Amino acid sequence: MSKYERAYGKDWDSIDKDEAIDRAYALGVAASLGEYHPDELDRIRSEMDTSYNKSVVDLAFDEGKNEAREIDADSDRTESSPVWAELVEGETVTVADDEVPTGGRDGLPDAIDKMDALERPEPDKNEAVERPDFLDKD
């Protein structure tokens, strides 16, 4: 049994667009690892109701293949970190509360932190409904 079959199974009757994209991506990763399932990809594509959704499924498949090839080509990769586990199964990344990036005033990045155009009115003030300063005569 292949990694794809263990993770997703092939005993489905119908799938929605999001699940189809996930499965197509996983099929692309599996294809780059030598596990081909062209019948499953065709079956997923046939479930999509529009040409656009079919093309999105194809793009997800290609993206899975390309990302797996890029990671597999990385010479620093060890056997303890397989491509399938990294791309398809993924790891849940948790960030400690003290490590959450805040970036200055109200959490804005430093690059745009100094722009006055992004000033946010305080909720308890009616400043947002007043006439702007540039309309007042000097």
pLDDT tens, position by position, 43-97: 999 999 999 999 999 999 999 888 888 876 664 544 434 777 777 776 545 556 6
Q: What angle do CA 102, 107, 112 make, to 5 degrees?
A: 115
What pLDDT sits at residue 45? Answer: 94
Q: How high is the mean pLDDT of the chain? A: 76
What are the angstrom distances between the C-alpha of 87 and each of 27, 32, 83?
A: 11, 12, 6
pLDDT-derived band at 2, boundaries 50, 70, 90 = confident
Q: Tell whether the model's pLDDT for residue 22 goes beyond 50.
A: yes
What pLDDT sits at residue 27? Answer: 92
Residues ≥6 apart with Cβ < 8 Å to 2? 30, 35, 37
* Average pLDDT of the residues in 38-44: 93
Q: Tell whether the model's pLDDT for residue 115 goes beyond 70.
A: no
Q: Tell whether the model's pLDDT for residue 128 goes beyond 90.
A: no
The CA distance from 91 to 124, in Å, is 42
H-type helices in 33-80, by residue range? Answer: 38-47, 51-73
Place of tokens 């007042």: 136
Q: Tell whether the model's pLDDT for residue 110 goes beyond 70.
A: no
What pLDDT sits at residue 81? Answer: 44
